[in-house]
Amino acid sequence: MTPLTDRLRASLFPVLAAAGISLAALPAVAAPQILAVAQTDLKLPVLCEAGECTVELTTICLQEHRASPNVGEGYYVHGDKFFELTGRTAAGQEIPLDHLPLAITAARGHNAVRLAFRESRIAKYGPLDITISVPANLSLVPLPIRGDVKPQTEEDILLATGPLRDLATEMVDRDSNKRDAAELISQAINRLPVRGRASDEDRLAVRAAYQGIMETSGFASGAKDNANAVVRECFDRTIAGSLSFRGCLGSWHDRMIGKLNTKYWNALKAGS
């Protein structure tokens, strides 16, 4: 029987081509970590600008012994779970967009990934408000790389996406304040422009939108307090200067997720 990793390489070529990713263009290095995508309780907005629609999702590293991914390194969804991508028209009609080819790449180490697709693929529907939801236990595996000196084996993938993924979920759920605070911060991150600084009007609009989402989220007061402190500090800190509102929020998000990741790694070493 053909090994799983070889079958994946063959099956992924047409998908990657549609998403604009070339395997041949990727560097000959060891495969980075398999990632767990955090389940969402709230739908996240997908922002379209300059012909591209993007969203950032929270992730946890499942393999401490492997290197963190570099920005732009590609991933694919493992197994039969997938993101729920939906567009809503001005008339309120919901259009499933799960069929769109998504380019999934590392955004900030192992703490966040970026999903992207071309805006031209949804032009036929007219203006849409696009949202995404992440189901439980969704994992991402690095795209196969030609000349990989340490590829993810079938055993590596099964271990990381099975028992290690279950442990990561358990450890993250034990600290719901950090988990939910990070999700609230992601709501603000994904409403801000990917490139450059937001205008004063956009900054105020995002802060107001965040406030409404936070108040109706149903999350515990501890999570809300944590997220509110970050949003308030980042808003005030980035009124002027080179640091953007989005960049500040991303940095704080990654600190929270980094602490959760450390708890998972410690539990793994202890055999919990």
How many domains in the chain?
2
Do both 148 and 181 map to the same domain? no
Residue 243, in any domain of the structure: yes
pLDDT band at 101 (very low <50, low <70, confident <90, very high): very high
> Based on the domain organization, do 9 and 128 belong to the same domain?
yes
Residue 9 in domain: yes
Same structural domain for residues 182 and 93? no
Same domain? 182 vs 119: no
Residue 157 belongs to some domain of the structure: no
**Which residue, 118, 152, 186, sits at the end of a domain?**
152
> Are 141 and 57 within one domain?
yes
What pLDDT score does 233 carry? 98
- Asked if residue 200 is part of any domain, the answer here is yes
Burial of residue 151, with CB atoms counted within 10 A of its CB: 0-12 exposed, 13-18 middle, 19 or more buried: middle
Read off the pLDDT of each residue in 181-208 and give the average, rounded to a whole number. Answer: 96
In which band, very low, low, confident or very high, does the pLDDT at 17 lie, cut at 50, 70 and 90?
A: low
Q: How confident is the model at residue 99 (pLDDT cuts 50, 70, 90)?
A: very high
- Co-location of 139 and 199 in the same domain: no
Mean pLDDT (the chain, rounded): 90
Nearest to 108 by CA among 61, 76, 151: 61
Residue 214 lies in domain = 176-270
Distance CA 137, CA 135 (A): 7
Residue 120 sits in the same domain as residue 205: no
Q: Are residues 27 and 136 in the same domain?
A: yes
CATH number at residue 244: 1.20.120
Mark whether 145 and 198 lie in a shared domain. Answer: no
Is residue 159 situated within a structural domain?
no
Task: Say if residue 82 is in the same domain as residue 212.
Answer: no
Q: Is the same domain home to 144 and 180?
A: no
At 145 the pLDDT is 86
Please count the CA atoms within 13 angstroms of the CA of 44 that sit on its side-chain side: 31
On the question of pLDDT at 25 being above 70, the answer is no
* Boundary residue ending a domain (152, 187, 219): 152
Whether residue 169 is contained in a domain is answered as no
Mean pLDDT of all residues in 119-140: 96
Coil, helix or strand for 143?
Answer: coil
Rounded Cα–Cα distance for residues 40 and 43 (Å): 7
Q: Name the β-bridge partners of 95.
A: 87
Percent of the chain with pLDDT over 90: 81
Residue finishing a domain among 152, 185, 209:
152
What sign does the CA torsion over 60, 66, 71, 75 have? Answer: negative
57 neighbors 112 (Cβ within 8 angstroms):
yes
213 and 90 together in one domain: no
Task: Tell me if 167 is assigned to some domain.
Answer: no
- Residue 77 in any domain: the answer is yes
pLDDT band at 1 (very low <50, low <70, confident <90, very high): very low
**What is the pLDDT, as a whole number, of residue 232?**
98
pLDDT digits (tens, 9 = 90+) for 211-260: 999 999 999 999 999 999 999 999 999 999 899 999 999 999 999 999 99
Helix H or strand E encompassing 18: helix 4-19
